[in-house]
Copies of this chain bind each other. A is one copy, B any other.
Amino acid sequence: MPGPTYREIAQALGVSTATVSRALAGELGVSSEMAQRVRDTAASLGYRSNRAAKALRKQRADAIGLVISDVENPFFASVARAIEGVAAEHRHAVLLCNTDEDLDQESLYLDLMIGENVAGVIVAPSAQEIGPLEQLRSAGIPTVTLDRKVAGDPFDAVLVDHRLGARELVAHLVDHGHRQIAAVMGTTAATPSLERLAGCREAIADAASAQLTVIEGTMRQAVGVQGTFELGERLAIETLSQRDRPSAVFCANGLISLGVLRAVRRLGLRVPEDIAVVGFDDQPFFDLLDPPLTVAAQPVEDLGRAAADLLFDRLADSGQDVRSVILPPTIHVRRSCGCPAASASG
């Protein structure tokens, strides 16, 4: 049972569908009295806007695409939540896509979004090169990249200062006296990982006789939440089983951190006595882990909100220059680094 259309509203009032359209769109050029009558009639008939028809006619849907690697990853889940909230304020729907960092899938999904005539796209790019995102550029679709840079800066971007966060974390380890530090990286394909690694190196360079061992998996291994988690565990077991094992480890992200903690537990090592651990990313319960984890927290909500704001800004004014926003991470010192228990860790 199809709902009423402009035709029914127009007929009920003896006016044209053009007038109905204008009144309901809140356009000027229609008397406020008529506008009111149209709105009343629409309401009484239970009119519901047909977004598909609008999208076709206007060549632009009131919807945005969100292209991330995996909503199951708590980082992306929080970001998605924030974005969806802003989109809802703008009466836009959100199309959700998980690419698993796979370029083919990313390409497929972008095709789909362009076919939906989305107004814009927020994407966490799978690679540093523009690759499939070129489709968005050539189709002229407003795009914001999330957490990652694309070569040539063709899009608005929201970034986190990964380098700074990693540097501070590793410097903290150095302050605790550690000189043999391992960085468990998962993968170094994406820019966040690369920058975090660069931050580690900076901190090491600042310290006399400190040394960094980089441990990393391959792209294929670090797939999905479970995959990354298990990769972290596996890499940590390899590294920490050696006789000349490092005295501290930096974990490239929250999932890796959890994997490393499990490895440590399986090896029967104590944190921080036998091995100190710090990691990128925070979660609300990381202070409840055994031991509470010292981390560099990304401002996930702000990140999502900033990305959505950038996108809707551009939808309102497509002429503006390409902008990028860089957000700082926050260090939460807890116990896994070797610091004494705080009274109220947060």
Chain A residues proximal to chain B, CB less than 8 Å: 1-3, 48-53, 55-56, 59, 61, 63, 66, 70-72, 74, 77-78, 80-81, 84-85, 88, 91, 93-98, 105, 109, 111-117, 138-140, 225-226, 229, 258, 261-262, 265, 284-285, 287-291
Contacts and interface: CB of A to CB of B under 8 A. Distances in A.
A70 B77 CA distance: 9
18 contacts: A1-B140, A2-B59, A3-B139, A49-B115, A50-B56, A52-B115, A55-B55, A63-B95, A71-B77, A72-B80, A84-B98, A88-B97, A94-B95, A94-B96, A226-B284, A261-B285, A262-B288, A289-B289
Contacts of A284: 225-226, 229, 258
Contacts of A55: 52, 55-56
A50 B55 CA distance: 10
Given A115-B50, A288-B261, A81 B72 contact: yes
Give the top 6 A-B pairs by smallest Cβ distance, nearest first: A290-B290, A52-B55, A51-B115, A72-B81, A77-B77, A96-B96
Contacts of A51: 112, 115-117
A56 B48 contact: no
A117 to B, nearest CB: 5
Nearest to A93: B95
Contacts of A49: 115
Nearest to A61: B52
B56 A52 contact: yes
A71 B84 contact: yes
A83 to B, nearest CB: 9
B289 A116 contact: no
A73 to B, nearest CB: 8
Contacts of A258: 284-285, 288
Nearest to A94: B96
Contacts of A112: 51, 91, 93
Contact of A84 (B2, B56, B96, B229): B96
Given A284-B229, A284-B258, A288-B258, A80 B56 contact: no
A48 B110 CA distance: 11
Contacts of A72: 77-78, 80-81
A52 B60 CA distance: 9
